[in-house]
């Protein structure tokens, strides 16, 4: 075999190897800039490509942006075309109207310059070059589904270098791979940017809600304050979405201990707004009137909520409201006043203390040592209701070591277990009965552990709030 033919086969092998590399890069590229830079390195083994660029057409503005631009004499900022930054695309757009690059894009045909036809158009001013004058220029369109989406070009400033028909055919062949790769990478980059935008927006919202949580926690009674007025108690407070509609309110007023648990309509931000309204109204209520019967307090709160939310009883009214349990403890007289809006109070008493004690209205569950009594609230919320009536006041004589529990419905409504069913009130009663021999501190741990075990991998569906106190 002659040296000439051997060299020719070697060149063909080299060309196909380079084309294979381009094809592989087109399927694995992670971003446009890195992909085109790699293509530039590969093309440099096939054609004179010291000066190389790819520009993509932006149809809505009739301008171009350059994911890659490499030149011996110019950079894209000094190439002599008008520029403007597009914030939505996060790219600098260039006006290439009337340039040879724009001509290739508009005609959809490759151009080798100089040639007789282009010389005529160039001399007439119908087309123009941008940047430094080269001695040889070759541009090919980048096409997708028959539409020209950009231009790839190489140029040389050396008079001995001129691009051939073979060079043109090679770049046209390569341009198909490059166009499809650019389309894929741009689509993936768009998805990544959208994903990052969503993540940033989510983080901003989460940061804002987390700050709101600090505000919401600040209006809840502090542990130091509750330790000062209650000797044996616990709180369980688990908002579903960082902030929530459940809250507890504790005050010592004129020797009375007031303990309240409330469950506002909704959770998250809407629920938190309702809870802040509830706390504000409670503060105003007790600051203005002091200790009153809890049923009267609920009635006043209902009137205020309806007034603020403009609820008049029509079908178009907003149905927001608050469920609430109010327990007022007179430790000196050993008396409990209770009223509930859709919420009950659970009272556990040792069986040995039942003899001779005043009967509590309703007994629900018992074992050898303790008996559970349920004091029901009224089936109406603090808010508009189809059949409003006065809230019922309950007065109960207390015994030493009685344990009281008021709570929202988030615990009993939680889905979990093997069959993903609600925990239900019946199981909640049994759970509380089973922990009565424990200290309130241990009770809290056992109740929280039971909740998490039941919930398992299931999402928490509602806010959870529980307050327990032992006399």
Which one, of 414, 411, 404, lies nearest residue 263 by Cα? 411
Query: Which tens digit of pLDDT belongs to each residue from 218-266?
Result: 889 999 999 999 989 999 999 998 888 899 999 999 999 999 999 998 7
Which whole-number Å values give the CA distances from 282 to 101, 214, 276, in the listed order?
A: 73, 20, 10
Model confidence at 426: pLDDT above 90: yes
Q: Which residue has the higher pLDDT, 369 or 80?
A: 369
pLDDT at 469: 97
Model confidence at 119: pLDDT above 90: no
pLDDT at 115: 81
Mean pLDDT comparison of 11-25, 102-116, 166-180, highest-scoring range = 102-116
Cα 369-375-380 angle, rounded to 5 deg: 155
Tokens of 343: 């919420």
Q: Assign domain 220-470 to a CATH class.
A: alpha beta
pLDDT at 8: 43
Q: What is the mean pLDDT of residues 92-98?
A: 88
Q: Show the DSSP H helices in 220-265 as ranges.
A: 223-229
The count of other CB atoms within 10 Å of the CB of residue 373 is: 20
Band (pLDDT 50/70/90 cuts) for residue 154 is very high
Band (pLDDT 50/70/90 cuts) for residue 152 is very high
pLDDT at 364: 76
pLDDT at 318: 60
Model confidence at 9: pLDDT above 60: no
- Give the pairing type, strands 111-113 and 136-144: antiparallel
Query: Which tens digit of pLDDT belongs to each residue from 355-411?
Result: 555 667 667 788 888 999 999 999 999 988 888 899 999 999 999 999 999 999 999
In the chain, CATH 3.30.450.40 covers: 3-193
HSE, CB side, 13 Å, CA atoms: give it for residue 23. 7
Looking at the chain, the whole-number percentage of residues with pLDDT higher than 70 is 90
Model confidence at 79: pLDDT above 70: no
Band (pLDDT 50/70/90 cuts) for residue 202 is confident
Query: Which tens digit of pLDDT belongs to each residue from 205-227?
Result: 888 888 878 888 888 999 999 99
pLDDT at 11: 58
pTM of the predicted structure, to 2 decimals: 0.65
In the chain, CATH 3.60.40.10 covers: 220-470
Please give the Cα distance from 328 to 143 (Å, whole number): 79
Model confidence at 153: pLDDT above 90: yes
Query: Which tens digit of pLDDT belongs to each residue from 289-321?
Result: 888 899 999 999 999 999 888 877 655 556 678
SS3 state of residue 431: helix
- Strand 91-94's sheet: what is its strand order? 83-86, 91-94, 63-70, 51-58, 147-156, 136-144, 111-113
> 406 with 345: CB under 8 angstroms?
yes
CA dihedral 26, 31, 34, 37 (to 10 degrees): 60
When mean pLDDT is compared across 19-23, 192-196, 263-267, the lowest value belongs to 19-23
Q: Which CATH architecture has domain 3-193?
A: 2-Layer Sandwich (3.30)
Please give the Cα distance from 177 to 169 (Å, whole number): 14
pLDDT at 82: 57
pLDDT at 5: 45
Mean pLDDT for all residues in the chain: 86
């Amino acid at each position: 075999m002659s040296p000439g033919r051997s060299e020719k086969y070697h060149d063909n092998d080299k060309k196909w190897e380079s084309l294979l590399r381009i094809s592989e890069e087109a399927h694995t590229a992670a971003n446009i800039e890195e992909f085109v830079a790699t293509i530039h390195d590969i093309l440099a083994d096939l054609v004179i490509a010291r000066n190389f660029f790819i520009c993509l057409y932006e149809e809505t503005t009739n301008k171009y942006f350059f994911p890659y631009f490499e030149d011996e004499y110019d950079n894209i900022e000094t190439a002599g075309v008008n520029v403007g930054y597009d914030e939505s695309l996060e790219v600098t757009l260039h006006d290439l109207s009337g340039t040879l690059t724009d001509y290739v894009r508009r005609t959809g045909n490759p151009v080798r310059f100089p040639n007789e036809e282009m010389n005529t158009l160039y001399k007439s001013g119908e087309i123009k070059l941008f940047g430094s004058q080269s001695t040889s220029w070759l541009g090919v369109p980048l096409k997708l589904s028959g539409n020209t989406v950009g231009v790839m070009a190489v140029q040389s400033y050396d008079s001995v270098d001129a691009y051939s028909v073979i060079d043109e055919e090679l770049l046209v062949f390569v341009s198909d791979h490059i166009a499809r790769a650019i389309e894929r990478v741009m689509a993936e980059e768009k998805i990544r940017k959208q994903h990052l935008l969503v993540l940033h927006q989510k983080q901003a919202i989460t940061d804002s809600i987390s700050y709101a949580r600090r505000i919401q926690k600040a209006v809840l009674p502090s542990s130091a304050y509750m330790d000062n007025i209650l000797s044996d108690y616990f709180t369980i407070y688990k908002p579903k979405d960082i902030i929530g509609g459940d809250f507890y309110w504790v005050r010592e007023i004129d020797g009375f201990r007031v303990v309240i648990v409330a469950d506002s309509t909704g959770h998250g931000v809407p629920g938190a707004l309702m809870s802040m309204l509830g706390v504000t109204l409670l503060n105003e209520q007790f600051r203005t009137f002091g200790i009153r019967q809890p049923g009267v307090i609920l009635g006043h709160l209902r009137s205020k909520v309806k007034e603020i939310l403009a609820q008049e009883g029509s079908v178009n009214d907003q149905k927001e409201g608050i469920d609430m349990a109010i327990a007022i403890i007179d430790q000196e007289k050993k008396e409990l006043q209770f009223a509930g809006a859709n919420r009950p109070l659970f009272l556990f008493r040792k069986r040995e203390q039942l003899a001779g004690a005043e009967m509590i209205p309703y007994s629900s569950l018992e074992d050898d040592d303790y008996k559970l009594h349920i004091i029901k609230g009224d089936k109406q919320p603090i808010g508009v209701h189809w059949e409003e009536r006065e809230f019922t006041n309950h007065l109960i004589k207390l015994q030493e070591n009685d344990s009281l529990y008021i709570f929202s419905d988030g615990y009993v409504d939680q889905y979990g277990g093997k069959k993903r069913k609600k925990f239900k009130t019946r199981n909640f009663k049994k759970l509380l009965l089973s922990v009565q021999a424990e200290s309130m501190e241990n009770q809290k741990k056992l109740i929280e552990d039971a909740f998490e075990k039941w919930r398992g991998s299931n999402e928490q569906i509602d806010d959870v709030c529980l307050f327990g106190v032992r006399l």
